[in-house]
Structure 1
């Protein structure tokens, strides 16, 4: 049997190549996923480890205003520094004042990065400062700044240049140095500006004698404990190692956990599509080798030997393809990193980390997936009777078994109620899996309507009959692409609904004419407090409402807070489903909350502000969640005394009566130019900003699904190629009775298109239904999904085009058959 196996692999290597590619691509995606997450984990551990490498103790407030890494904390009194310096064993203590700071580039625009824009006092002690001066010098005089090399490149800034620093108020500064974070150009995706301690206190702390933290270098056992013993209440001392572990753990549990889940889900999809393609290929091969298998049985081979032979064949393919897939995964990880960056999700790392655990995971997964996919066909091969050797041709079962139909009906019936009625993500997800499994089981029944397609022409009719003649094979060929298209459609429908929900939210909430936004993805914005008064002075403007805020602790939970002038805000925003007092009546001691915040009208809540002070407020209004305000809304009069920097995320503008929109926009743009050219949007454009972020994420999903779709197309091409080989004599006879090469090519091409269209139409219908279920439980306000017609038409047409591409090689093979040899083929 070993010689038979090796001989079979040699003679059927071309027919098995599609299976090899399917395994390779599935394993490559898994390897790329593991490589990407390992790289990100290593980079983040390295970044935060280097940040605190020379720091023995960090002194900070014990209260975090939010969950997650580097959460904002109330400031420390400047006097704490003297207390720390008086502790035995402290050799150096560097006061740190941090806040928002963003430089303008040479073109006058704010330098945009993917992460937070940080400004900080420059730490003179090199052991406590992870930033190193690579060009120029450290800041020593008023107005001196240093900037990280990555931001300097983006803004085309050089040593000696004069520019403006937004803190967020614009301040004239001079770049005296370019710095690096160790050997890296920046700290991940953030930007960094270093100031003199005096400037940092003035610009970032509002002139107050307050510190963000204190970095300590010293000697002696339990230095953190000694420092903590003399600190005032509400201030803590932790070791530098503990601070690093705390931050990296938060990143691992948050961002990296989500990244692993996202990439892992798509790696699983790619592997599932590969398994479907492998199973279909082996099913066809086993059917084609029925006579060969029967001859083996006739000469003494047992059922176990036949079963072992097919499994061994799958095992060999799985091992070789998995090894190739692991190697390809490294290259795919590098490609994904580049694509992520092009789509706005740049990974803040250089190079790739390829751990041995990648091999340890990929090898068993790839090999096991291949073998499991071949088990069913292997069992069928082992049941071939020796008398099958007397048949003149391979006999493949083309009917649909009652067991398969019953299983499909049961799975679909079990999953449909959860999809339609479920209220939890887990329940709907489990139901969706059952429904998809049921559709795949019943797919051969869905092939039969192909006979009713109004196709004209001899070649199209023959292709239609070939597809209908063996519905099991047609459905098997279509399964992988059906699954891929279904998932693409699901995300397309979900994204379309979310975009519509976002646009509807803005359109129903925003009553002004223009919005000035900072474009900040992180933090609480970068618009200065004096921008709103500057716009209010314009003769074209009637009302201006600046929405700022930050982080606070409300009843023990960190949350985001919006702050604005209530009377002005009420003129430009109409928050949905508002109840209780009018928003214009908010004042110190009276706040409004979103209806999903966990608070109700009349509740009295304890609020800890960013400066550490505490007050008790009454909830006097409740509103529906809106993307234009945070879950807690209070008056700017209450918030301002507690904020170290007057940050605004948006300024909403209502034009005076009779002012043309074009004139109003021009005036606003001109007035805002000095503040880094923030984005000025009308109501429609503002509604599109949220949709843009969703579209960006959808593009990322499409990229991740591309591997699964390519694998599915390879499965179609492989099935058609095997079908052409099986029908060699049939095609020869078709040529003998007058069919031209072109007609044979067209017939096979039509088969490919029919399979692709079947996959696309059924997948699109399935994806739309599941997309509706997903949108229904996310509470977007839509009872039915928003079906984006243009993208779905593109998906269907793309399916047809994919069929043409998948059929390119099989059509050439079919058209190139020699007539006489084909007729003589067995």
Structure 2
């Protein structure tokens, strides 16, 4: 074993360049994985600290015990608590102070000319409140004292160019003129990403943020001396009425952190981990190909070792020791690179408008150990088969010329690959068409990937002949030689192209899925929305408060408008399950939205009627005239009669009730969308301008035509695709390193051949062109396979999503975007061949001819 180690070390010293590509592939994959884990730990620790600091003055939180959670949401909606409980709580043993906390979404702006300052979570601390809002302006009042005064967080003030004494508009969602009298931080931070803070007096909060005075979201309690938080909660529990609970301030902070984690951090880190996995998968193919070529080049060397007495185990161990040295070195370097990536992301977020909590990077043992282990396992696993092949080298191979692996296009491989394709199609079609199942669809996708890898060497010969056919006519002898070189080893060509194929396949997958999502959104709006313009606010950022319900009435009074209907949102339990309710005028809704076939009448809902979709009616086994019980957040149970069943639900929702039915149970009233249809003869531009003039008075929300609304609704998809492409650039970079490394090793392998070509008259430029075109052919093969695989997997994902959800997904193939992906893949192949081509052209002709 010591001889194997010495041999491996000598080989590494003598051929350092051979493993440069392998080192970079492992380094990049490990760095991305480590950076993701470190960034996730850092963000979680930052939010823990921030929420802990923000609630450090709150020892207990009193709130409604029950929450209604609708599908797709992690945070339930709770009923308000009676502020009269403050007096009861203050008399409980161990209580030093108690104050109501009234919270609701709102947004602020510095007039119509200034962009919105972001989503605000107004909190109205009364005198003696335990809410922790640290003043940052010495000598200024940290809390509003009278009507119309507010405190905003420093981040909001900076983004809106606001200062103490400035007047701005707070949308609650009704517009309210307010004066800023103080700036504050939240747990020591200027803000929490785009979520911001606005504080007002309790009287103003009850007036603008609640449906009825005397209600608060929670009551915050501070413990007296020598009273622990748990003791305080125990004392409060004994005096609180039924349906009201007390939790410690620490538990409240943990719930807030968990909410952020479930809504953002988990998705964010999972998203990055998926791409780390893609990068490492691509690296696996590149590493395997490098070691396969190195073993093929050292056939005579390994055979001589066997002839001199080395055992199979020693030869295999020698190759694995080399792989281990590269794996450990690259993985350790990757850990350092990952820390650098995390530090870069931490600095980048504030620059793009997401100022996450500041703090030192959190580098845990698992975030270091896991990437290190993954990098080593990936590298060793990729080298395992080539190492075993090296150990099987026969001693007589020393008498032959260096062997080049030309296997791969065997009949057994073709039969196996075709069998895998048939199995993949069968499983996939079963999972997306016969018996919809995400698991079956995923299994089919994995089988399809395996089939492409197995069939790669079989298909490479045919594909290279077809793709390289024009080169004979366009580039003459140079093009023909490039095509023959790519055909020389089908398995090597396929292995080299496989890394790029996976990267292109994932890019194509997300391109197709993104285009399908946009087509689905456009189809949804076109099918459901029969109005002329839509008025809305972003779901994140300035639009957190929604639209004022009074806006619909104001727009309805315009002479250009035929119908204006606002869609509000409520929640209730329907037969014990949380469901979202659409709160609206059902008559106007039917005139502005295409609801499909309607049985019953939407005109007769009143205060005890409900309309539901056919899908929900089938689930609940209900029809017109049946009764169902709704439980609201205030705990009241009300029996409703199903008075209408309608077909479509994308924008209208599954359950519709009137505002009169919702009014007794509402907290803050707001619309999420206002749909407007114009009278006959009113042009779109004319009507839109009229609606904009009225909307300006209610916070200047977006007024868009139906097409514009569909495009803006899908705007987040373009942002997602931009991020996807940026992240997948890493996988494509690793694939290109693999192509360049393969070509470099192949040039070393063909040194004597290249020297002979130069000797018989091939020029340096012709030699460079030959190597570059060989690289382009390999990249073209990988790109073509990736496009085909990605389009298929995109179709699978769309159909699987269609079967797993209640919405109808539309499949779309974007030809321009896919053509651009193909162009980028081929261009990248040309770039990958530049350095090997230059190296080949610099070979000394006589030395090359003399090489054995």
Normalised TM-score (structure 1): 0.95
Partner of 2:465: 451
Please list, as runs of the form range in 1=range in 2, the aligned pairs for 1:156-235 lying within 5 A after superposition. Answer: 156-206=161-211, 208-219=213-224, 220=227, 222-235=231-244
Q: Which residue among 307, 312, 317 is the counterpart of 1:303?
A: 312
**Alpha carbons of structure 1 residues 420 and 346: separation in structure 2 relative to 1, 3 Å:** farther
**Alpha carbons of structure 1 residues 125 and 290: separation in structure 2 relative to 1, 3 Å:** farther
Partner of 1:536: 556
Deviation at 1:380, TM superposition (A): 0.5
Is residue 563–residue 639 contact of structure 1 (8 Å, CA) maintained in 2? yes
Moved more, 536-545 or 389-398: 389-398
**Alpha carbons of structure 1 residues 375 and 624: separation in structure 2 relative to 1, 3 Å:** farther
Structure 1 SS opposite 2:164: coil
Is residue 587–residue 635 contact of structure 1 (8 Å, CA) maintained in 2? yes
Query: Paired residues, what number?
Result: 822
Structure 2 SS opposite 1:778: helix
Moved more, 463-472 or 598-607: 598-607
Structure 1 SS opposite 2:558: coil
Structure 1 SS opposite 2:714: helix
Q: Which residue among 639, 642, 647 is the counterpart of 1:616?
A: 639
Q: Which residue among 353, 370, 373 is the counterpart of 1:361?
A: 370
Partner of 1:503: 522
Please list, as runs of the form range in 1=range in 2, the aligned pairs for 1:579-728 lying within 5 A after superposition. Answer: 579-597=598-616, 598-602=619-623, 604-623=627-646, 626-728=649-751
Please list, as runs of the form range in 1=range in 2, the aligned pairs for 1:186-585 lying within 5 A after superposition. Answer: 186-206=191-211, 208-219=213-224, 220=227, 222-253=231-262, 255-336=264-345, 347=356, 352-422=361-431, 423-449=436-462, 450-452=464-466, 453-455=469-471, 456=473, 457-521=476-540, 525-575=545-595, 577-585=596-604
Instruction: Output the CA distance in 2 between the equivalents of 1:309 and 1:143.
Output: 78
Instruction: Output the CA distance in 2 between the equivalents of 1:256 and 1:178.
Output: 28
* Structure 2, unaligned runs of 5 or more: none
**Alpha carbons of structure 1 residues 207 and 619: separation in structure 2 relative to 1, 3 Å:** closer
Partner of 2:848: 822
**Alpha carbons of structure 1 residues 419 and 746: separation in structure 2 relative to 1, 3 Å:** same
Deviation at 1:43, TM superposition (A): 2.1
Provide Cα deviations, 1:375-402, integer angstroms capped at 9, x if missing partner.
0000010111111112233343434345
**Alpha carbons of structure 1 residues 695 and 75: separation in structure 2 relative to 1, 3 Å:** same
**Alpha carbons of structure 1 residues 665 and 252: separation in structure 2 relative to 1, 3 Å:** closer
Partner of 1:57: 60
Provide Cα deviations, 1:454-485, integer angstroms capped at 9, x if missing partner.
33222111111111121111001001110111
Structure 1 SS opposite 2:104: strand
Structure 1 SS opposite 2:758: helix
Instruction: Output the CA distance in 1 between the equivalents of 2:685 and 2:77.
Output: 40
Structure 2 SS opposite 1:680: strand
Moved more, 779-788 or 29-38: 779-788
- Residue 14 in 1 paired to residue 17 in 2? yes
Is residue 525–residue 548 contact of structure 1 (8 Å, CA) maintained in 2? no
**Alpha carbons of structure 1 residues 740 and 586: separation in structure 2 relative to 1, 3 Å:** farther
Deviation at 1:165, TM superposition (A): 1.0
Deviation at 1:125, TM superposition (A): 4.1
Is residue 524–residue 549 contact of structure 1 (8 Å, CA) maintained in 2? no
Partner of 2:833: 807
Instruction: Output the CA distance in 2 between the equivalents of 1:249 and 1:605.
Output: 34
Is residue 276–residue 479 contact of structure 1 (8 Å, CA) maintained in 2? yes
Kindly report the root-mean-square deviation, in angstroms, between the aligned alpha carbons of the 2 structures: 2.3
Instruction: Output the CA distance in 1 between the equivalents of 2:508 and 2:353.
Output: 23
Deviation at 1:410, TM superposition (A): 3.9
Deviation at 1:800, TM superposition (A): 0.9
Partner of 2:819: 793
Is residue 55–residue 132 contact of structure 2 (8 Å, CA) maintained in 1? yes
Moved more, 778-787 or 764-773: 778-787
Is residue 519–residue 525 contact of structure 1 (8 Å, CA) maintained in 2? no
- Residue 745 in 1 paired to residue 768 in 2? yes
**Alpha carbons of structure 1 residues 767 and 338: separation in structure 2 relative to 1, 3 Å:** farther
Instruction: Output the CA distance in 2 between the equivalents of 1:336 and 1:619.
Output: 52
